[in-house]
Amino acid sequence: MEVLKRDEEDVSPRFSFQKNGSSLSCVVPPFLLSPQKSLYYNKLPEEPFNLTILKLDGSSFDIKVARNGTVAELKQAVESVFSNFPKTGTGKVSWSHVWGHFCLSYDGRKLLTDSDLLGTYRIKDGDKLSFMRHVSISYNLVKTRSEREDPSKNEPSM
């Protein structure tokens, strides 16, 4: 038995059988090949996750993200909610500032690595994520240095 070449539009496997000089070719439906998912089922698009983002002020908004999405794609979905805000001037959202001081979290875990898949955090459809204060390393270094340079900190207390 051998698998013959398939037409690009026809995704059904074809098998040919040869016996005593004669051959027979037939189409085999995918569900007869194995107990695994059929070829057609694998081509269906997955429904995106519907997630709720809780803001620090207590309000929330909903977003949609691909089930196999990354933290970076999640952040892009959050940014797109605010795409109607001005790009410059008053009311402009500085996303580099936002992501430098805050991060999204799920179940108490900070989502810090943009390349992490959402599945890494076991995020599911309908889950709620929240903004959490997150201070970048560069901000910590500046803060530590300024505390060391403050002369009032070095005075003995009475």
DSSP 27: E
- What is the value of pTM for the model shown? 0.58
Give the phi and the psi of residue 116 in degrees, each rounded to 5. Answer: -65, 140
DSSP 31-61: HHH-SS--HHHHTSPPPPEEEEEE-TTS-EE
Q: Is the pLDDT of residue 43 over 70?
A: no
Question: How large is the average pLDDT for residues 136-156?
Answer: 53
Whether 114 has a pLDDT exceeding 60, the answer reads yes
Where are the chain's structural domains? Answer: 2-42, 49-141
Closest CA to 118 of 137, 105, 136: 105
> Does the structure show a pLDDT above 60 at 130?
yes
Residue 110 bridge partners (DSSP): 105
Alpha carbon distance 85, 79 (integer Å): 10
DSSP string, 113-147: -TT-BGGGGT--TT-EEEEEE---HHHHHHHHHHH
Averaged pLDDT, 89-104: 88
For residue 134, how far is the Cα from the chain centroid? 19
Q: What is the CATH architecture of 49-141?
A: Roll (3.10)
More confident residue, 70 or 31: 70
Q: What is the mean pLDDT of the chain?
A: 76
Averaged pLDDT, 119-126: 95
CA dihedral 140, 146, 152, 153 (to 10 degrees): 40
93 touches 117 (CB < 8 A)? no
Taking the C-alpha atoms of residue 103 and residue 72, their distance in angstroms, rounded to an integer, is 11
Compute φ and ψ for 133, nearest 5 degrees: -65, 130
